[in-house]
Chains A and B, each alone.
Chain A
Amino acid sequence: MNLQDLYQELIIDHGTHPRNCRTLCNPNCSAKGYNPLCGDSIQLYLSVEQEKIIEASFQGSGCAISTASASLMTEALIGKTLNDAQKLFHQFQILLTTEDSTPLDLGKLSALSGVRAFPMRVKCATLPWHTLNAALKNETKTVVTETIEKTMIETSNE
C-alpha cells in the first residue's frame, strides 16, 4: 500500500482539474450515479452517432479519485464505439478488482490501478464506470453503489 501509487501526478491533475466537466447541449445518452455512503454523485452525458461516442462529459461532486476517474473515462470514451466502451468498462473493472501479476495496459487509465490496494476507495473509482454501464444500457434509474456488487455478480453469472 503506497500513497504515491494512489495519488499519482496524473490522478491529482485530473482530480483537481477535471477534463470534460460540463454538460452537453444535446446528449442522446446519459445516466446518473450516486454513492449514498459518501455522497459522491455524477451525471454522465454522451453524444452518440452511428454507434460511436462523439462527445462525453460529466458533472457532479466527489473526491479526487472519483473525479479523476470520471475525467479520464470521458477522455478514453471519445471516439470509441459503444461496443468498445462496454469492453473498456469490463477491463477497467478487472484492473481495479483483480490481483494480477500482469496488469492490463489501459493507457492513462492504468494510473488508477493503485486504487486496488485501497478497498475503501474502489467504489470511488468505479462509480463513473458503473454510471457509463447504465448509460449504455439506457437505464433511467440512478446507479447506486450499494447495489452494484449484486449487479456485478449477476453479470458475471450470465
Chain B
Amino acid sequence: MEHHSNIVPWQMLCERKKAHLKIIPMNQKGEIELDKLDQLLSPKTKLLSIIHVSNALGTLNPLKEIIAKAHALHIPVLIDGAQSAPHLKIDVQQLDCDFFTFSSHKVYGPTGIGVLYGKKHWLEAMPPYQGGGDMISKVTFTETLYNDLPYKFEAGTPPIGSVIGLKAALEYLQNLGFNAIAEHESRLLNEATEALLKIPGLQIIGSAKNKVGVISFIMDGIHPHDIGTIVDQYGVALRSGHHCAMPVMDFFKIPATARISFGIYNTSEDIDQLIKALYEVKRVFKK
C-alpha cells in the first residue's frame, strides 16, 4: 500500500547493494496482512520501512505490532509519516520506531523540506551524505572531523526561511491540539463515508477498520479525472489519479481513484457541497 516515495528509493538502494525488496501483502479492505509478516522477516532483513497512513486508502497501519515483530529480530524500522503527521498525535519514543520521516508541506508548512527523526545510535553510526558547511567540526587538507548531531547531516546553507515556516506550522497544529484534530477529522470521515455510500454507483476503495480522514472512491462509468474537473467547478478540490501509489491501483485493478482528504479547515458543509457536486457529475454523465 506504499507511496512511490517509500518504494523507489529502496529499489535504488537494492540495485546498489544487490539487496532484495520484499513486500508485505494487503487484503481487499486495504489492510496489511500482519500474519504474513513473520515469514517475510529473517535474520538477513536489514530494514523494515512502512507507511504509517496510506495516502491512497487512508488505512492506519498497526505500527506497534509491526515494530515489535521487527525488533524481535533486531530489524530497525522506518516509518513514512507523510500522511499521518498532519492528522495524528505522534510519539516516536512510544512507537519505538528507529526512524520517522514526514514532509513539511503535509503539515501546512513550506514545500521542499521535511523531517527525519532517527534514534541517536543509528544517526551516530551513519556517515554524512553531504559535505561542507556546518557539518564539520575541524577541517585540514588531510582529514575532516564531523560535527555532532544533528549538524553532521546539515551541510551547506539550509533553507532557513522554510524551516522557520515549518516551526510556525507545527506550533499552529500543536495549539489546535492533535487530539482535537484527529477527533474533528474522524467525525468528518464518518459523515462523508456514510453520505458517499448512499450515492448509487459509487464505490469506496479502502475499507480498513482503522482509517484517517482519507476516502478514495470510483464511480461507475465515470473516470476520476472527469469527476475532479466537474466537482472543481462546484468549489470542491479533490485529487484524482494514482496518488503516486500505482501498485495500489494495480492491486484493485483500477487506473485511478478520486480521493478526498480532510484537513483541519474542512466542515460538514464541505461534505454537503461534495455530495451535491457528485450528483452534478452523475447528471453530466447521465448516470
Contact = CB atoms under 8 A, between A and B. Distances in A.
A62 B241 CA distance: 11
A12 B284 contact: yes
Contacts of A65: 225-226
A7 interface: yes
A124 interface: yes
Interface in B224-249: 224-226, 229-230, 233, 240-242, 246, 249
Contacts of A61: 255
Given A39-B242, A39-B255, A3 B225 contact: no
A140 B285 CA distance: 35
Nearest to B249: A39
Contacts, number: 48
A12 B285 CA distance: 7
A38 B241 contact: yes
Given A1-B233, A39-B241, A39-B255, A7 B225 contact: no
Interface residues of A, number: 21
Contacts of A121: 225, 229
Interface string B270-287: 000000000000001110
Contacts of B284: 3, 7, 12
Contacts of B242: 38-39
A120 interface: yes
Interface in A16-41: 16, 37-40
Interface in A107-127: 118, 120-121, 124
B286 A12 contact: yes
A6 interface: yes
A36 to B, nearest CB: 9
B223 A64 contact: yes
10 contacts: A7-B285, A16-B221, A16-B285, A38-B241, A62-B223, A62-B255, A63-B223, A63-B225, A118-B229, A121-B229
Interface of A: 1, 3, 6-7, 12, 15-16, 37-40, 61-65, 67, 118, 120-121, 124
List of 3 A-B pairs having minimum Cβ-Cβ separation, nearest first: A63-B223, A63-B225, A39-B255
